Amino acid sequence: MPQSVLTGPLARPLPMPTWNNFNKKIYNAALQSLEHTKLERPESLTIRFSRAADLEKIVDLYSGQRKTIIDPHNFVRPRRFEELAEPVRSGAAALAIDENGNIRASALASVYRDGNGGKKNITEIGAVMCDVGGVGLSKIVLAMLALKQTFDPRAGERVFAKVARDNAASNKVFASSLGWDQVNCPHESSTLYDVAYRSNRGQGKRDRLWYHFSGAAREKASGILQSCVDQEALKSKDGSIIALNIEGSSLWSTLHFSSMLSLS
């Protein structure tokens, strides 16, 4: 009877798992399981502002496993229930929701008070995440949210976004797809920093690139929303199409109010 190599004279113990190959195994298994949880490309999307009923899914997006999948470099700070509850209830998140009710893109607006009558209040648009690449979806969500923030009589002129220098995709979206102006003027940026970092006792990374939602960017945002409403679909470069549910979206109402307010 042939002798088993496991029990014969040449038998050697299996190599002991080292800390390194043990970690690698766990890491690869984790990556594989994340692959399985990636969502399919959507067939249709509704792009609208948030309400209280969205809270659970938004908390999951900003703190759960989907955050790891969409934002592996952690460009967006994780956010928990307490921080999200009130903004979500009051419509400060803009969402793209697919036909299965999954949130496929999101962005948040935060208003910072100047502590001195409100003349220098600012709105920061940020925490954008999107897992439907190649159709310019984050651009649409951001354009809709930024336009809505201009309706705020105290912070409407001062809508900004801040982006890490090494975040190529996000810098491209703000600078190019949306046409926001980079804030370069030292006086403007020092006022901006005073207000933006005030609520955080002056703390915060100042090496970020700041962008301003200028008049030209507003026009561009209106054009982006108008073309969504007209075409009722998003087209990718490979020709595939994602339908837009215009009736359920906030695209048209935002565009409508924006054009009425800019007449005054």
Integer angstrom CA distances of residue 196 from 12, 76, 215? 64, 17, 21
Beta carbon nearer to ligand COA, 24 or 172? 172
Q: Cβ closer to ligand COA: 49 or 174? A: 174
H or E, element range at 177? none
Report the candidate in 126, 153, 162 with the shortest Cα–Cα distance to residue 142.
126
Instruction: Give the separation between CA 139 and CA 128, rounded to whole angstroms.
Output: 10
Closer Cβ to ligand COA, 26 or 111, answer by number: 111
Closest separation between CB of residue 207 and ligand COA, Å?
Answer: 13
Which residues, listed in sequence order, are joined to residue 108 by a DSSP beta bridge? 93, 126
| Neighbour-count burial for 155-176, b at 16+ CB within 10 Å, e otherwise | bbebbbbbbbeebeebbebbee
Give the residue with the Cβ less far from ligand COA, 76 or 221: 76
Minimum Å gap between C-beta 210 and ligand COA is 11
Element (H, E) at 205: none
Q: What's the closest the beta carbon of residue 134 comes to ligand COA, in angstroms?
A: 5
Residue position matching structure tokens 């897992």: 131
Q: Can you tell me which of 167, 191, 222, 245 binds ligand COA, judged by CB under 6 A?
A: 167
Residue whose C-alpha is closest to residue 107's, from 122, 118, 92: 92
**Binds ligand COA (CB under 6 A): choice among 47, 103, 173, 234:** 173
215 sits near ligand COA (criterion: CB under 6 A): no
Q: How far is the CB of 177 from ligand COA (least distance, A)?
A: 5
Residues 105-144 interacting with ligand COA (rule: CB under 6 A)? 126, 128-130, 132-134, 136-139
Residues 6+ apart with CB under 8 A from 147: 218, 221, 222, 225, 254, 255, 258
- x/- mask, ligand COA, residues 76-95, rule CB under 6 A, reads x-------------------
**DSSP line for 95-159:** EEEETTS-EEEEEEEEEE--SSTTTT-EEEEEEEEE--TTTTHHHHHHHHHHHHHTTSTTTTT-E
CB of 35 to ligand COA, least distance (A): 17
Q: Which is nearer to ligand COA, 76 or 192 (CB)?
A: 76
**Pick 87 or 136: Cβ nearer ligand COA:** 136
170 is a contact residue toward ligand COA (CB under 6 A): yes
What is the spatial distance between Cα 140 and Cα 193, in angstroms, rounded to a whole number? Answer: 27
CB of 70 to ligand COA, least distance (A): 5
> How far does Cα 84 stand from its chain's mean position?
14
Q: Does 98 bind ligand COA (CB under 6 A)?
A: no
Q: Closer CB to ligand COA, residue 49 or residue 62?
A: 62
* Interface contacts to ligand COA, rule CB under 6 A: 70-71, 75-76, 126, 128-130, 132-134, 136-139, 163, 167-170, 172-173, 177
